[in-house]
Amino acid sequence: MPQNLQISLLGELRIVSRETEFPLPASKKARALLAFLVATGRPHRRERLCELLWDIPDDPKAALRWALSKLRKVVDGDGRVRIVADRERVHFDAEDVDIDIKNIHTKLRQRDGYLAIAELEPMAGQLDMVLLDGLDGAGDEGFDSWLTAEREDASVARIEVLRQLATHPDMAPAPAHKWMRLWRDADPSGAEAHERAAATPAPAESKPAAHRAAKPKMNPQSRALRAQRIGFCEVPDGTKIAYATLGSGPPLLKAANWLNHLEFDWNSPIWGRSFATIARNRTFIRYDERGSGLSDWNVADLSFESFVEDLEAVADKLGLERFPLLGISQGAAVSIEYAVRHPERVSGLVLIGSYAAGWRILASPEEQARREAVLTLTELGWGTDNPAYRHIFSQTFMPEASADDLAWFDEFQRQTTSPQNAARFQDAFGHIDVRHRLAEVKAPTIVLHSKYDQRIPLDMGRDVASGIPDAQFVPLESRNHILVDHEPAWRVCIEAANRFLTEKGI
């Protein structure tokens, strides 16, 4: 195996070790396979790789095996296996591998302010090249969509590098002019906004306070909304997932649950204060579930497997190496599945209102009939002005909430997803089953559950805690499935979760 491995994804795919470039297979699909595994940095199901790169009339499984055998000759050897595969999944072990575009993303993400000019100028040269040049059309539409998304991310990185070079305080005037021209070509609106701001005189501070316009006061949640950074990533099936980051410090990633919206959450009596509290000492990351919020609504796949893949995509996009997961309601099952698939990445689990199996699996025939009826009502009435249909959920989610909180949640649900997707979500949640995964969880876990939860009974949360080795279980004095920030149980929950993370050093 090549030592000191360097992989270039910018330009044509290249593998270099000690200044020696290693020849890649002539097969375009084999090179595309390696590029996909390296760029995504996570395991993929063999079936999914076959779908992405090989047509059904061929023998996709045989083609995948052949491509992997060719790639192993390039990257494996000397007792080190880079192409790691079992009967179900394949991934590329990138430990100690220098990957150009990932290095650039990491430096831009981790540094506050300006990078050194000596770092930025080589980056600009690298980012001038087309990412994975020559691999267009190597697979199906899903592969092309993924490639387009990766190139868009590289374009965003290039704009940021040009911006830093054009406005760098240590840059001499002549090269600064050149970088400003390049920045203007790549991002006209951004460059023009900077130039307008630079040309606008600062407000005169010498004016008496009475003659200066008073700035409107913003509550902490409004300030948080303005401070959060929203981005998008693309799942291999082409679905765009919206995510947001807020705060600084060690990361905490929240799995999506029913229902969230990256922009509307902050005015919520349910989520706003909770999220702001979490972000005080951490980089808090959350995302909108496919089919809702700012993520794509028109999606073919709305299933548990797709929910897990969305979580994988967000973690990979942000380059998170090791982090705790927060899972609420069905987000807990998604977090459990992710933790089992990626034990090396999950440092802890905080599960609230959790369950391991959905209503289609555990509910009685009578309860299943009631749920089916609610599905029909949802499709017919969710999007109307009459809140009665949505009130079915509000009352079971938060029976102790005030009338104002319930009214807010009714309207919030209508804005967050479509009637069809609301019904599809309910159906998908019914099929969830991670009971067989509980014993496989390796991460420290705390399970918190309302004693009188009318949506997910306490016993279901207790079953999750008893199935996960050494999990802590904290019953909460509440009837609400979703805790409201002014009830005592909310503070108990927040304090218990923070204490758990601190004690475990997570």
| pLDDT tens profile 46-57 | 988 998 898 766
User: Is residue 201 scored above 70 in pLDDT?
Assistant: no
pLDDT score, position 247 = 82
Q: How would you classify residue 214: left for phi > 0, otherwise alpha for psi between -120 and 50, otherwise beta?
A: beta
- pLDDT for residue 376: 75
Cα atoms in the 13 Å half-sphere on the side-chain side of 155: 10
456-474 pLDDT per residue, tens? 999 999 999 999 999 999 9
**The two structure tokens encoding residue 80:** 């080190």
C-alpha to C-alpha distance for 388 and 401, rounded to whole angstroms? 16
Task: State yes or no: pLDDT of 202 exceeds 90.
Answer: no
φ and ψ of 482, to 5 deg: -105, 115
CA dist list (Å): 96 to 2, 6, 255, 300: 12, 9, 29, 38
pLDDT bracket for residue 72 (50, 70, 90): very high
> pLDDT tens digits, residue range 125-151?
999 999 999 999 999 888 887 898 788
Strand 445-450 to 472-476 pairing: parallel
The answer on pLDDT for 218 being more than 60 is no
Domains and CATH numbers, the chain: 1-199 (1.10.10.10), 220-503 (3.40.50.1820)
Q: Is the pLDDT of residue 328 over 90?
A: yes
Mean pLDDT of 114-134: 94
Q: What beta strand segments (E) does 216-365 contain?
A: 229-234, 240-246, 251-254, 283-287, 323-328, 346-352
Q: State the Cα–Cα distance between residues 279 and 331, nearest whole angstrom.
A: 19
- pLDDT for position 80: 83
pLDDT at position 115 over 50: yes
What pLDDT does residue 56 have?
64
